[in-house]
Amino acid sequence: MIESDDEAPTVATSRFRFPTCFWIATAAVATAGAVRHGWTGEPQIKGLSFRYVAVTGIGDQAGVCRRDPSDVIRVGDRYYVYYTKVVRAELPASWRRLYPSGYPGTVWCAMSPDGLHWRELGRVLGASRSDTFDSFGVFTPNILRVRGRYWLYYTAVRPTPGRDDGGFDNNSTTDPTGIGIAVADRPEGPFHRIKDKPILIPAGDPQAFDSYRVDDSCLVIRGGKIWFYYKGRSRAHGPAGAPGPGLWRARPPGLPDPGGRYERLHW
């Protein structure tokens, strides 16, 4: 979870992705083990166990896919989570083969007093107008609070060029993703896009690890900089290719909108 604190923000980077419902993973340290974590050296985890607990309000629902939960943030005495939502019955017939993927999705928000019992607040971000990178679907959100504002990072796709129905093929030549940002003054929105163009796009080299997909934003504030981790997928491997991790590091510090002031790393 993220403790909302502008002076010393912290980010938990683990996210659980399930196609139809959310679960909360609660971890307990065994009496014989210990957990030690710090920024210096590698974390050491011994004797760690956890269990899954079903949540209410945003759980399993026939014909509805809620997936890709963001980091959970706490604002005052409430918790907020953002996620992809797709309702199969609301999709045009020619798009339903995409279900339960997040490609035709929109971003929703839910609120909870305890992290287990949730109330769905509604959609906070939908597809944009027809000539933008995010005009078909928006999905896999993550959230970051900086300087009292809420920055929603999201992945998006446009319709496949040439399709009469405005649908999406998910091919590795004409259907790349992009990552955009929307911002709000309150955790429940309204969120407004900061620009019509993505802040991160796939690499131009077809052999690069992220030439086809950039996705799954993960944000960490450390050392006065915003560290932006993401998943990449290469066009060389096709739609089924194995993803790899990447990192962009913001310069100068403190700006959620990179404006091109990033360096790309891969390992």
Q: Check which CATH number belongs to the domain holding 131 and give it.
A: 2.115.10.20
Give residue 83's domain range: 2-266
Return the beta strands (E) in the chain as ranges. Answer: 2-3, 23-29, 35-36, 44-45, 48-54, 64-67, 73-75, 78-87, 106-112, 119-125, 137-146, 149-157, 178-184, 192-193, 213-222, 225-233, 244-250, 262-266
Per-residue pLDDT of the chain (267 residues; tens, 9 = 90+): 333 333 333 333 333 333 444 443 333 223 233 333 344 455 567 787 888 888 999 988 999 999 999 999 999 999 999 999 999 999 999 999 999 999 999 999 999 999 999 999 999 999 998 889 999 999 999 999 988 999 999 999 999 998 888 999 988 888 999 999 999 999 999 999 998 899 999 988 888 888 888 999 999 888 878 888 888 888 887 665 555 555 554 433 344 444 433 444 444
- Separation CA 145–CA 90 (nearest Å): 32
Give the residue from 225, 162, 231 showing the smallest Cα distance to 202: 231
Number of independent structural domains in the chain: 1
DSSP, collapsed to helix, strand or coil, labels residue 126 as coil
DSSP, collapsed to helix, strand or coil, labels residue 237 as helix
